[in-house]
Amino acid sequence: MINNEKLETINQEINNILLKLSEMENVYSSQLSSVHPIYSRSAKNLIHYLAFRSFDVDNLQEKLRELSLPSLSNIESHVKESLLNIKTLINFLRGEAVEEKEQGTLSISESKKLLNRNTKLLFGYKSKKRRTRIMVTLPGTAAEDPDFTYRLLSLGMNSARINCAHDNPETWEQMIQNLKRARKLVKKKCRVMMDLGGPKLRTGSIVQGPKVIHIKPKRNALGRVTQPAQIWIAPPGINPPEDTASAIIPIDEEWFAKLKKGNMISFTDTRGKRREITIENKEGEGRWGICYDSAYVETGSFLSLKKEKLSGEVSMKVGELLPIEESITLFPGDYLLLHKDPRDGEPTQYDENGNVTQLAHISCTLPEIFEDVKVGEPIFFDDGKIEGTIEEVSSEELKIKISYAKDKGSRLRSDKGINLPESDLKVSGLTAKDRKDLEFVCQYADAVNLSFVNNEEDVQDLLNVFEELQAKTGIILKIETQKGFNNLPSIILRAMQTYPIGVMIARGDLAIETGWKNFASIQEEILRICEAAHIPDVWATQVLESLAKKGVPTRSEITDAAMAQRAECVMLNKGAYIEKAVKMLDKILRRMQRFNKKKETMLPKLEEAGKLKLSHDRYNI
């Protein structure tokens, strides 16, 4: 028997929520009137969703479940319609055949169409039999090898990401030209997305080590060689097509021309040990050699070339090698100075008695942060691998006590990320490089990925540049800071003044900034806010990372990739096995959409359920 008292309580709670919807519409009427007409209904629904979430609705949901009524768990994209539908059901349960309606209310089917339209505006057409798009970060290979982008497109890439923090406009343009040719061959559309570097806080340079390379074959636990070292030999400046070389040896172009398959190069390494390299094959403008022994080779070392049809030997010198990248090894309890002065960093210095004579020190790329940090605030280095606490602050440096590092020490290198999650940093907006890069981006890209968006002023900064350049480029808002998450609704509303727009969940920095224990729920909230605004979101950072870089996935990243189907797009970073990763992700996403549609659970037929058996064979792709 229906409990009328419970029904009346639910009805009153929903009335209170509906009243709040109207109040917030009035409060934020100016923001709603400023959005582009294409987003007008979506902006209003976003405000409605925030009004709904301003209540503690857990108890209301439980009451609805007890009466077998919809629990409002998928209300994001159609808030008012869902609330009115509950009121209609309550009316009928009380014997009142009154249907609750309000003109202009966004229906469930209309909300789905809005999200699909906005996703298509930003990312273009979806792949056959796959709802979620795949974005691939292009490596330098995409500029050098015209077939590379062709293969990525054939495997399922929907949009190509070019990171402006790497390479240069000439390389970017060549990547795009190769992509255009590939699109014609494959007969598929593919959007170009370009990342602005943004005000990235990183470690500065460290003193250079000796100009030497270490040739190191892979060995098993018994010390036996399981795979020889792969050595790239080429004239200076010619790099291997893939990041798979154990070592790179530059040699004079004249001597390089003498190298043929099967030749043997012998040399004496820095330790006086005799070693040999066998030339295996040619690739592009270089050659691959293999070596079965460990060796150290420095700039200017003599190499002797032995040729089968040549009596005697031909000698050559190793060209200029890059210096070894030095590092600062830090242990828990150590101190590190972070300074404004751009001088090279150095490890801790000791005297002959083991006493510290100089603390380890390193510079940073954004010295303006020194004005914003405070004593006692945490600081993280290299994606959270090293943690510390700021103990002293001056105008020129910070003294940091390391609280977390590996027991055997963690190495801090140059150009590693620095995070200050609890500091009220004023650094934001477009950098001078970003503004310069935008001239290229707005001419060649379909959308710009705006890094480190902290507030709506950052968005307005970009919109102002668009106006100056008379650009109509799409925007993907990269949310990677605590501030960016806190201000996400106002950021989206400001971005809605143009179209198309989307949101990228930059999970690497965001996890460090918001804290590991908080990140899962924060990621969930971003997905919900995007659905309420009917704008596409991008699931980014470390998706199938081990597969892309090492060729073998981990179990946890397969599960992560499966969860990614809840987003409209998934981003893959570059790696030596990126083609394998695209193929795997395509299969995972197509399979998983049979079981989930965004966060809505689907229940496909189990063929042998009547025989008390489970089978997923029919879902094999």
Average pLDDT of each block of 10 consecutive residues along the chain (621 residues)? Answer: 82 94 95 96 96 90 90 92 94 87 91 96 91 95 92 96 93 96 94 93 89 90 90 87 79 85 90 92 88 91 73 73 83 95 92 89 93 95 94 94 94 93 87 94 96 94 95 95 93 97 94 88 93 96 92 92 94 93 94 82 68 63 59
What does the pLDDT read at residue 529?
A: 94
- 275, 295 Cβ separation under 8 angstroms: yes
Spell out the domain ranges in the chain.
4-106, 126-199+428-595, 212-317, 333-419
> DSSP secondary structure string, 440-493?
HHHHH-SEEEE-S--SHHHHHHHHHHHHHHT---EEEEEE-SHHHHHTHHHHHH
Q: Which helix (H) or strand (E) holds 401?
A: strand 397-404
The angle subtended at Cα 457 by Cα 451 and Cα 462, nearest 5°, is: 55
Closest by Cα among 574, 584, 580 to 142: 574
Query: 333-419: which CATH topology?
Result: M1 Pyruvate Kinase; Domain 3 (2.40.33)
Chain position carrying tokens 């070389």: 245
What does the pLDDT read at residue 530?
A: 96
d(CA 138, CA 579) in angstroms, rounded, equals 11
Beta bridge partners of residue 134, listed in sequence order? 570
- 325, 298 Cβ separation under 8 angstroms: no
Q: Which helix (H) or strand (E) holds 162?
A: strand 159-163
Q: Which residues lie closer than 8 Å to 96 by C-beta, 6 or more apart?
A: none
Q: Where are the beta strands (DSSP E) in 284-396?
A: 286-291, 295-298, 302-306, 314-317, 328-330, 335-339, 349-350, 356-358, 360-363, 378-381, 386-393
d(CA 116, CA 82) in angstroms, rounded, equals 20
**Is the bond preceding residue 489 a cis peptide, omega within 30 degrees?**
no
CATH superfamily of 126-199+428-595: Phosphoenolpyruvate-binding domains (3.20.20.60)
The CA-atom distances, in angstroms, between 154 and each of 124, 190, 379, 584 are 16, 11, 43, 13
d(CA 193, CA 448) in angstroms, rounded, equals 6
Q: 212-317 and 333-419 share one CATH topology?
A: yes
Kindly state the greatest CA–CA separation across the chain.
106
- Residue 29: Cβ within 10 Å count: 11
Phi, psi torsion values for 227, nearest 5 degrees: -155, 125
Written as six digits, the tokens of 574 are 């570059």
* CA 198 distance to own-chain centroid: 14
- Residue 610: Cβ within 10 Å count: 7
Beta bridge partners of residue 267, listed in sequence order? 275, 303
> DSSP secondary structure string, 84-144?
HHHHHHHHHHTT-------TTPPPHHHHHHHHHHHHHHHH-SPPTT--SEEEEE--THHHH
pLDDT tens, position by position, 154-198: 999 999 999 998 899 999 999 999 999 999 999 999 999 999 988
What torsion, rounded to 10 degrees, do the Cα atoms 575, 578, 584, 588 define? 70
Going by the DSSP 8-state scheme, the letter that residue 537 receives in this structure is E
pLDDT tens, position by position, 563-589: 999 999 999 999 889 999 999 999 999
d(CA 234, CA 65) in angstroms, rounded, equals 69
What does the pLDDT read at residue 342?
A: 92
d(CA 135, CA 248) in angstroms, rounded, equals 31
What does the pLDDT read at residue 453?
A: 93
d(CA 595, CA 2) in angstroms, rounded, equals 34
> DSSP secondary structure string, 208-242?
---SEEEE--EE-TTS-EEEPEEEEEESTT---SS
Closest by Cα among 538, 400, 405, 424 to 481: 424
What does the pLDDT read at residue 260?
A: 87
- 442, 469 Cβ separation under 8 angstroms: yes
What does the pLDDT read at residue 570?
A: 96
Count, residues in the chain: 621
Q: Is 374 exposed, middle or buried (0-12, 13-18, 19+ CB in 10 A)?
A: exposed
What torsion, rounded to 10 degrees, do the Cα atoms 74, 76, 81, 85 define? 30
Residues 212-317, CATH architecture: Beta Barrel (2.40)
